């Protein structure tokens, strides 16, 4: 029996609904990530693949599936290119391994000559692709130099009970579906393709951010010759790096200055608020203290003191002060009258 799911390369988190999704806490997926995984939607949930305990064949449309044997391991076969081996490949292989209680899984990979002539250049060599498959936990046996199109001779040679693949038609020059004859024999077991991930998508991301990856490798010690770029291109990448660094520095400085100003304004507001609160608290007490200075007892004391000082003066000085305060000379009266009439008189001695 196969071991429980334990995906170390792509840790999974179980949601409340029981489904599993890519863990953002273990492998953050940032847009434009230099690891090439930045465009995966981290909200897409990956359904866990259960181990089947039934020997019932799947329900299919357009073809039948034979009932599997129960007295021995069922020999299933998956084939493909498996370039840049990713979790979409791994999940297809896992589905094949878990589709029946007792499965012996064979996985074949086509060689470089067939792949380059029929599909295009691969990133990984055939040896690298074979080794990637050998390190997948669900694979029991790797078949090297697998045929591009499965034949009856190949099925008989490896005693294959079922060929596993998604059931979309795969056309070739000779036929509309290379798996058609396998389906007619009842030896085709369908799997489900994992969406949003493929080798072509990964290559597209690398090509799209070509300059970023060149700079990344130059910074890690690769030479222009290693990367097959000219001296001019290398200098252009260095200039791009300095320009971006200068732009980031300016942006950071502006943001830091803005943050500092906002912090100072915030401190000033807090200080003003504190001062206002202080005087709001003190104003009532000050008003009471000020009004207390004009209490009736205080006014009585002040009046008595002034009266006492007045009584202590000599009688002649008192009379003079009283006369100055109460009488006005005739000349002053005459000047006031003239001032009212708009006439200024000059007195000659």
Tens-place pLDDT, residues 15-24: 443 444 433 3
HSE (side-chain half, CA atoms, 13 Å) at 291: 6
| pLDDT more than 70, % of the chain | 69
The per-residue pLDDT for 1 is 35
Dump strand ranges (E) for the chain: 12-14, 20-22, 45-46, 74-80, 103-109, 141-143, 162-166, 188-191
Tokens 């690398």, residue?
206
Choose between 259 and 44: higher pLDDT.
Answer: 259
Tell me, what's the pLDDT at 41?
A: 58
Here the tokens at position 243 are: 């320009």
Calculate mean pLDDT across residues 133-152.
Answer: 95
Hey, how many other C-beta atoms are within 10 angstroms of the C-beta on 55?
Answer: 13
Residue 35 confidence (pLDDT) above 80: no
Q: What angle do CA 175, 176, 178 make, to 5 degrees?
A: 70
Report the pLDDT value the prediction gives residue 200, as an integer from 0 to 100: 92
C-alpha 250/C-alpha 107 separation (Å) is: 54
Give the pLDDT mean for 176-204: 92
**Mean pLDDT (the chain, rounded):** 77
pLDDT at 62: 87
DSSP state letters, 176-221: S-TTHHHHHTT-EEEE-PPTT--HHHHHHHHHHTHHHHHHHHHHTT
Average pLDDT of the segment spanning 204-223: 89
Q: Residue 236 has what pLDDT?
A: 83
Which segment of 98-107, 156-165, 268-277 scores lowest on mean pLDDT?
268-277
Instruction: Give percent of the chain above pLDDT 90.
Output: 38
Summarised one tens digit per residue, pLDDT across range 262-309 is 888 888 888 888 878 877 777 777 666 766 666 556 556 655 666 666
pLDDT digits (tens, 9 = 90+) for 41-93: 556 678 889 899 999 999 888 899 999 999 999 999 999 999 999 999 999 99
pLDDT tier, 98 (very low <50, low <70, confident <90, very high otherwise): very high
Q: Are residues 79 and 109 in contact, defined by beta-carbon separation less than 8 angstroms?
A: yes
The pLDDT of 26-48, averaged and rounded, is 52
User: What pLDDT score does 189 carry?
Assistant: 95
Tell me how far apart the alpha carbons of residues 217 and 211 are, in angstroms, rounded to a whole number. Answer: 10
Query: Taking 50 as the threshold, does the pLDDT of residue 348 lie above it?
Result: no
Q: What is the pLDDT of residue 156?
A: 96
Q: How far apart are CA 115 and CA 106, in angstroms?
A: 20
- Is the distance from CB of 27 to CB of 51 less than 8 angstroms? no
Answering whether pTM is above 0.75, one says no
With 60 as the cut, is the pLDDT of residue 181 above it?
Answer: yes
Task: Give the best-scoring range by mean pLDDT among 103-107, 192-196, 267-271, 323-327.
Answer: 103-107
Distance from C-alpha of 20 to C-alpha of 13, rounded to nearest angstrom: 5
Measured between alpha carbons, how far is 163 from 129 in angstroms, rounded to an integer?
Answer: 20
pLDDT of 141 higher than 50: yes
Compute the average pLDDT of residues 126-152: 96
Is residue 137 over pLDDT 50? yes
Q: Into which CATH architecture does domain 55-207 fall?
A: 3-Layer(aba) Sandwich (3.40)
């Amino acid at each position: 029996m196969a071991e429980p799911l334990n995906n170390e390369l792509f840790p999974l988190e179980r949601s409340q609904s029981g489904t599993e999704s890519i863990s953002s806490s273990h492998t953050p997926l940032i847009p434009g990530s230099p690891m090439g995984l930045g465009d995966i939607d981290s909200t897409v949930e990956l359904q866990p693949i259960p181990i089947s305990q039934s020997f019932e064949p799947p329900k299919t449309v357009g073809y039948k599936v034979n009932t599997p044997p129960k007295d021995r391991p069922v020999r299933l076969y998956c084939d493909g290119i498996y370039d840049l081996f990713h979790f979409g490949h791994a999940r297809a292989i896992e589905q094949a391994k878990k589709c029946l209680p007792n499965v012996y899984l064979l996985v074949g990979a086509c060689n470089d000559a067939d792949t380059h002539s029929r599909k295009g250049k691969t990133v990984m060599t055939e040896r690298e692709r074979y080794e990637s498959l050998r390190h997948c936990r669900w694979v029991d046996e790797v078949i090297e130099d697998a045929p591009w199109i499965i034949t009856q001779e190949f099925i008989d040679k490896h005693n294959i009970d079922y060929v596993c693949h998604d059931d979309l038609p795969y056309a070739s020059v000779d036929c509309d579906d290379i798996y058609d004859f396998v389906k007619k024999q009842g030896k085709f077991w369908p799997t489900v393709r994992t969406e949003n991930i493929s080798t072509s998508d990964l290559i597209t991301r690398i090509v799209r951010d070509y300059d970023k990856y060149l700079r990344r490798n130059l910074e890690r010690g690769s030479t222009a010759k290693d990367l097959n770029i000219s001296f001019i291109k290398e200098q252009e990448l260095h200039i791009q790096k300095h320009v971006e660094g200068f732009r980031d520095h300016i942006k950071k400085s502006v943001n830091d200055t803005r943050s500092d100003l906002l912090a100072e304004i915030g401190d000033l507001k807090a200080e003003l608020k504190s001062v206002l609160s202080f005087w709001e608290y003190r104003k009532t007490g000050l008003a009471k203290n000020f009004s207390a200075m004009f209490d009736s007892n205080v006014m009585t004391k002040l009046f008595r003191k002034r009266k006492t000082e007045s009584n202590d003066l000599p009688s002649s000085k008192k009379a003079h002060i009283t006369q100055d305060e109460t009488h006005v000379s005739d000349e002053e009266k005459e000047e006031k009258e003239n001032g009212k009439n708009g006439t200024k008189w000059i007195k000659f001695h």
